[in-house]
Amino acid sequence: MIRINKYIAKSGICSRRKADELILNASVSVNGKIVTDLGIQIDEKKDIVKVNGKEIILEEKKVYIMLNKPKGYVTTNNEQFGRKCTTQLIHEDVRVYPIGRLDMYTEGLLLFTNDGEFANSLTHPKNKVEKTYIVKVNHNVDQNKLNILRNGVDIGGYITAPAKAESIGEKEIKIIISEGKNRQVRKMCEAVGLKVLNLKRVKIGNLELGNLPVGKYRYLTDKEINSI
């Protein structure tokens, strides 16, 4: 027997946290009956689980991919407005989904997998996985602004946790955060009077983008997977 959210995550549809949302939103059925109890357990060999009316099947082959996301692509599996999606850049025989998000105008490191447990280990707040960004802004950055970013700033009703921030060049900052609020780095910079001209994620935990070309992807090595 296995908890239903873990089963859904193992199927490669989404993370365990997202599976909980699907269950609470009455989007999941077991043997034809809608379930909303997060604690329910199922027999993965006998029970039929459907999400939004579609039966899910466990993926046997686990895939772990790093993409250098270009600007102009949205990070979603359910694009409804005709925009270019990052999933269009991934060409695999198994279905994968992005771990977290980068907004349309942010580029850099984006991970994809069909392993919900792996995704959960990277996104769950308790794990505080660090994400590193290189930010080009419209003004030189003084020590006062860096100190404010390091101590936490109000980004619209939410005070960010302390971050690591350092100037690495003229009008360029390296910011490291362990949170994942929507457009967080952009809002942090705006809060100290800086306009973001270019934003690139270069590292997640121990995984580095390196010299991977823009728009291209590669498989993670076993060593990289085990480092998470």
- Residue tagged active-site, from 20, 47, 93, 103: 103
* Cβ-defined contacts of 150-153 (< 8 Å, 24+): 153/188, 153/191, 153/192
161/177 Cα distance (integer angstroms): 8
- Are 10 and 116 in contact, with CB atoms under 8 Å apart? yes
β-sheet bridge partners, residue 137: 196
7/212 Cα distance (integer angstroms): 33
115 is catalytic: no
Alpha helices in 39-181 (DSSP H): 116-123, 143-151
The widest CA-to-CA distance across the chain, in whole angstroms, is: 62
186/160 Cα distance (integer angstroms): 12
161/179 Cα distance (integer angstroms): 8
Helix (H) or strand (E) holding 224: helix 222-226
Which residues touch 65 (CB under 8 Å, ≥6 apart)?
Answer: 90, 92, 96, 111, 112, 113, 217, 218, 219, 220
Instruction: List, by residue number, the catalytic residues.
Output: 103
